[in-house]
Amino acid sequence: MKLKLIVLATLFPIFAHAATLKSLNSERAPFKLPALPYKTSALEPAIDEQTMQLHHGKHHQAYVDNLNAALPESDKKLTLLEILKSTKKFPASVRNNAGGHWNHSFFWTILTPNSNKTKMSKKLQAQIEKDFGSVEKFKEEFETKAKSLFGSGWTWLIVDNSGKLQITTTANQDNPLMDVAEAQGRPILGLDVWEHAYYLKYQNKRGDYIKAFWNIVNWDQVSKYYSEK
């Protein structure tokens, strides 16, 4: 049994840097690329292996490297969340790469090859039904906003300061935690709609990629993020 657990841990490494929003938000320089909690091939057919290899190993790694290089020495004591909440004072290089690192670290955790074995909590489902009418209507609105976002960016489900759920979008690598965000709040679900996230498999069919996203959402993790304070 012990050997079996060791093998499983090797195949599916623990996501040390972003197991919860608290641990991700409290990360400090030097920032590191988190390991994926599944194989790069595990999300197929929704997301192909080559895309995952490039997206995680190249794109995300670049954000980490560039953030470490761009962050002034005097600010390396700041947590990642503190950087995001004060992006107005930083140059674009810090804003873009801090956002890129947080967004991707978060994104990997809300995906799973076993989505059918995860379940939205009753508490989250009740809030979605209250704020959107039904889970189906929530998904429809989320898809519409993701498809309508011009250029590169992200689509988010956030908890706002009043506790209400909202669907919002951000351009480039911005996110709702930033002081520059038009709609601010705590993300519990996010979808990367940069072309590098889907173009190798879906080309210009962003809508197909968005539809496939629901097949790999880790609702256990999303529900956990919703319950965190």
Determine the average pLDDT of the residues in 178-188: 96
Structure tokens at 80: 């990642």
As a whole-number percent, the residues of the chain with pLDDT over 70 amount to 91
Determine the average pLDDT of the residues in 68-76: 96
Mean pLDDT of the chain: 92
Residue 110 buriedness (CB in 10 A; 0-12 / 13-18 / 19+): buried
Cβ neighbour number for residue 229 with a 10 Å cutoff: 6
Could you tell me where the DSSP H helices lie in 12-60? 21-25, 49-54
Structure tokens at 164: 């209400």
Q: Which of 108, 109, 10, 100 is nearest to 53 (CA)?
A: 108
Structure tokens at 224: 């956990």
**Mode of pairing for the β-strands spanning 165-171 and 153-159:** antiparallel
Locate the DSSP E strands across 90-227: 153-159, 165-171, 186-192
The verdict on domain 115-227 having CATH code 3.10.640.10 is: no
Is residue 17 very low, low, confident or very high in pLDDT (cuts 50, 70, 90)? Answer: very low
The pTM (predicted TM-score) of the whole model is: 0.91
According to the model, what pLDDT value does residue 6 have? 36
Is residue 19 very low, low, confident or very high in pLDDT (cuts 50, 70, 90)? Answer: low
| 37-62 residue pLDDT tens | 999 999 999 999 999 999 999 999 99
Determine the average pLDDT of the residues in 166-174: 98
pLDDT at 64 over 60: yes
Q: Is 111 helix (H, G, I), strand (E, B) or coil?
A: strand
Cβ neighbour number for residue 58 with a 10 Å cutoff: 10
Q: Is 184 helix (H, G, I), strand (E, B) or coil?
A: coil
| 78-131 residue pLDDT tens | 999 999 999 999 999 999 999 999 999 999 999 999 999 999 999 999 999 999
Determine the average pLDDT of the residues in 159-179: 97
According to the model, what pLDDT value does residue 8 have? 39
Per the model's pLDDT, the better-predicted residue between 164 and 3 turns out to be 164
Helix (H) or strand (E) holding 128: helix 122-132
Per the model's pLDDT, the better-predicted residue between 178 and 7 turns out to be 178
Is residue 228 very low, low, confident or very high in pLDDT (cuts 50, 70, 90)? Answer: confident
Give the CA-trace dihedral at 216, 97, 179, 172, to 10 degrees: -60
Determine the average pLDDT of the residues in 207-223: 98
According to the model, what pLDDT value does residue 49 have? 98
